[in-house]
Amino acid sequence: MVFTSDKVNQLPPYLFASFQQKKKQMEADGVDVIDLGIGAPDLPTPSFIVEELAEEVKHPSNHRYSTYSGCAAFREAVAHFYKNQYGVNVDPETDVLALIGSKEGIANLMHAVINPGDKVLVPDPGYPVYKTAVHLAGGESSCLPLDAENGYVPLYEQADLDQAKVMFLNYPANPTAATVNYDTFLQAVTKSAEHDMLLVHDAAYDMVTFNGYQSPSVLQVPDAKKHAVEFGSLSKSFSMAGWRIGYAVGHPDVIQSLATLKSNMDTSQFLPIQKAAAAALKSDFAVVHEYNHIYQNRMETLYTGFQQLGIHADKPNGTIFLWAEVPEGYSSMEFADKLLYEAGIIVTPGHAFGSRGEGFFRIALTVPEERLDEAINRMKQLDIT
C-alpha cells in the first residue's frame, strides 16, 4: 500500500527544499553561504507585540478555544485597520475572518469556492501557493500573464476570463516586487463583475512599502465587496511570520463559505496571538515604517551593486525582494547554480514562479546590509557579464 494521494504525488517538487539541501552540504564543507532565497523576515517582532502576548497568555480565559471565525477583538482590529488605512468600512461580524496565516486561508479558500474542474486565473510569474492550492482543490489553473514591459499588471487580453471562476492578484507582488495604483484594482473589479468571477487579492505586502508609495486596497473600489476578497497578513509588515496570523476581508458570502469550511478543519488561532495581533493592527505602525526603511536601504545597496555589475533590475516601491534580469547567456537555473556553486550565494531562479519568470531571479532582502555588500563583492569576483 502506498499512503500518498495522487494529489500530493502530483505536487511540483519544492525548489526551495533542493537549494536548502545544497546549502547544508556546502556549509558542512565550510562554505559561508549567503542565503537570499527564502522570503522570511529576519527582523524581530516588535517588542510591544511580544509583551502583549506575554500578558494575554497569563489569563486562563485565553486558554480556551477561540470562536471559529476569530475573536471579536481581532476582527474589530482588522476593521479598524481598513477604516484607518484605506477609508473602507467593513463589518467585523460578517466581512472579516481570522486565519492561521494567509497561506492557510488561500489554500482553504479554493476548497471553499471551487468545484472539480473549475478554472482559476493565476498570475505568471506569481507566488506558487496559488497554483498548488487550485490543484489540491481539484481545480485547473489558467495563466494570467504578467510582463516586465507593462509593469506586471494583468494582461487580460491574453487570458481566458470567460472560463474562469476565480482570479488571483497580488500587489505589492511576490516575486516581482511590482506595485500598482488604484486604477489597476478598479479595472480588476470591473473585469470580475463583467465575467462573474471572484477576485482574490493577496495583500501580504500591503504595508511593506517605501519611496512614499502607499498601496491601495481592492476594497476601496465601490461595490468591491460584491466581487472580491482580500487576504492580509502580519507576517511581513510586523515580522510575525512564525506567529501564524492573518485575515480575509470582503465578500460576506465568500467569508462565510471559508468560515464554514475552516470550522470543520481548525478552531482558529490561539487567543493571545490574536489579541497581540489586534494590538499590532491598532498601533501607529511606527515600527513597520522603521522596518520598511531597513528594507529600502538594503534594496538600495543591492540595486547600486547590481548597476555596477551590469545586472538590470527595476527599483521597487515595496516588498522584501529585488527582481532582477539574469545576465545574457544563462538560464535562470544556470545563473542561480553559478551563484551558489561559485560564490556561495542562494537566490531563487525566476522559473520557480512560473514559466514567465524565466530570465529573472529573485533576491530576498532578509539579511543585514553587510551580507548584501559581501554578496556583491563575491559577484564582482565572478565573470558574469
- Footprint of ligand PLP (CB under 6 A): 39, 101-103, 127, 170, 174, 202, 204, 233, 235-236, 241, 246
Q: Name the residue nearer to ligand PLP (CB basis): 128 or 344.
A: 128
Q: Name the residue nearer to ligand PLP (CB basis): 204 or 340.
A: 204
State in angstroms the smallest separation of the CB of 175 from ligand PLP: 8
State in angstroms the smallest separation of the CB of 295 from ligand PLP: 13
User: Backbone dihedral region of 268: left (phi > 0), alpha (psi from -120 to 50 degrees) or beta?
Assistant: left
State in angstroms the smallest separation of the CB of 39 from ligand PLP: 6
State in angstroms the smallest separation of the CB of 169 from ligand PLP: 10
State in angstroms the smallest separation of the CB of 214 from ligand PLP: 18
The answer to whether 96 and 249 are in contact (CB under 8 A) is: yes
Q: Name the residue nearer to ligand PLP (CB basis): 34 or 204.
A: 204
| Residues paired with residue 250 on neighbouring β-strands, in sequence order | 229
State in angstroms the smallest separation of the CB of 91 from ligand PLP: 22
| Sheet of 348-349, strands arranged across | 321-325, 360-364, 348-349
The answer to whether 34 and 344 are in contact (CB under 8 A) is: yes
Distance CA 208, CA 289 (A): 8
Q: Name the residue nearer to ligand PLP (CB basis): 142 or 235.
A: 235
60: its cell numbers: 486562563
State in angstroms the smallest separation of the CB of 202 from ligand PLP: 5
Distance CA 381, CA 153 (A): 36
Q: Where are the beta strands (DSSP E) in the chain?
A: 34-35, 96-99, 119-124, 140-145, 164-170, 198-202, 228-233, 246-250, 321-325, 345-346, 348-349, 360-364
- 139: helix, coil or strand? coil
Q: Name the residue nearer to ligand PLP (CB basis): 104 or 369.
A: 104
The answer to whether 351 and 307 are in contact (CB under 8 A) is: no
Distance CA 174, CA 323 (A): 9
Q: Name the residue nearer to ligand PLP (CB basis): 184 or 233.
A: 233
Q: Name the residue nearer to ligand PLP (CB basis): 208 or 343.
A: 208
Give me the residue label for grid cell 519568470: 357
